Amino acid sequence: MKKFSFPQTNLFRGLLGLTALLAISITCMNISEPPQDMQKPATATDAPPADLHKNYDILLRLYVDGTRFDYEELFRNEADVKRLSDYVDRLESLNPENWEFNDALAYWINLYNAATLELILKNYPLGSIKDIGGLFSSPWKEDVVMVAGEALNLDEIENEIIRKQFKDARIHFAVNCASISCPPLANFAFTGEKLDEQLNTVCKNVFDNDLWLQVTSTERWIEVKEKEIRISKIFDWYKQDFIEYSGSVRKFLAQYRPQDAEHILNPKVKIKHMGYNWDLNKAEKATASK
């Protein structure tokens, strides 16, 4: 079973220090422990509830719109906003420490995405997730959830828990940062039972879309100055993750574009990174004709 640890923030280390001092003080004062039936140790469940992600899955199927998300429609629906909030609350009430690997990873991916949606809705309307916070603050550094007594922000969930402890490069196409250039939010909740299949599905969907991968076909080589592959900036920022997972960025890409694998794996074909659009990935409403 997967064991994960929480990021050791300065506050957390400070609390540990205070706890140690209190323990010493209690020992010195000869204060006895409370009766066994009064103690409430924090325990982790062995498996997630069977219906844990059901309501979140319903929300995603309702509001994911292709590669975008319909924040406006959800924002107007108080019952569904509460449904999202209740789901995040339920995740916070659980400790996945002793869960199976896939169950735990599905939990953290869903928590990241649901907490991001909740953060956007709390600040809606806005043009970009980067509008949240100020000059010296970041939306990814703002505490958004409390799990097992530890306050966590989006940066810690993604980089200290999901990336660092699960080491599956496919997660970069499962977590969503609410931006146009971010791989799209899936229209389903991740579950431990189907996780491997689901991660492969989101990767395939991304690499079948020119927004994240553009391969100059051999038929067009005579039309362009250079043979090239244009890929998401994600492969630049997290290059090491893909090297550790597949051996190289090219090998990772080739898995999901087998029809272009020979071209992708050719070292003579240059790789270029696309720009990154941080505008909110909100659904585009069709303008009614007059």
Residues shown for the chain? 290
227 or 142: whose pLDDT is higher?
A: 142
**Does residue 42 have a pLDDT over 50?**
no
Convert the pLDDT of each residue in 115-146 to its tens digit. 999 999 999 999 999 999 877 789 999 999 99
Residue with tokens 């005579």: 222
- Residue 44's pLDDT is what? 63
- Band of pLDDT at residue 92, cut at 50, 70 and 90: very high
Structure tokens at 26: 């209690």
Q: Tell me the pLDDT tens digit for each residue of 9-28.
A: 544 444 444 444 444 344 44
User: Average of pLDDT values for 32-49?
Assistant: 55
Q: Quote the pLDDT of residue 10.
A: 44
Q: Residue ranges of the alpha helices (H) in 174-273?
A: 195-207, 234-237, 239-246, 249-256, 261-265
Helix (H/G/I), strand (E/B), else coil: 213: strand
Q: Whose structure tokens read 């924090």? A: 42
Phi, psi of 101 (to 5 degrees): -50, -55
Burial classification of residue 148, based on how many CB atoms lie within 10 Å of its CB (0-12 exposed, 13-18 middle, 19 or more buried): middle
**pLDDT tens for each residue of 181-207:** 999 999 999 999 999 999 999 999 999
* Nearest-10 crossing angle of helices 249-256, 239-246: 70
Lowest mean pLDDT among 18-27, 79-88, 91-100, 195-204: 18-27
32 pLDDT exceeds 80?
Answer: no
Residues 242/249, Cβ–Cβ less than 8 Å: yes
Strand pairing class (68-69; 64-65):
antiparallel
Confidence of residue 106 (pLDDT cuts 50, 70, 90): very high
pLDDT band at 217 (very low <50, low <70, confident <90, very high): low
- Least Cα distance to 56 among 127, 116, 134, 125 occurs for 116
What is the pLDDT, as a whole number, of residue 12?
44
Of the chain, the percentage scoring pLDDT greater than 70 comes to 80
Mean pLDDT of 36-64: 79
Q: How does 23-44 read in b/e, with b if 16+ C-beta sit within 10 Å?
A: eeeeeeeeeeeeeeeeeeeeee
pLDDT at 35 over 80: no
Average confidence score pLDDT of the chain? 86
- In this prediction, residue 261 has a pLDDT band, given cuts at 50, 70 and 90, of very high
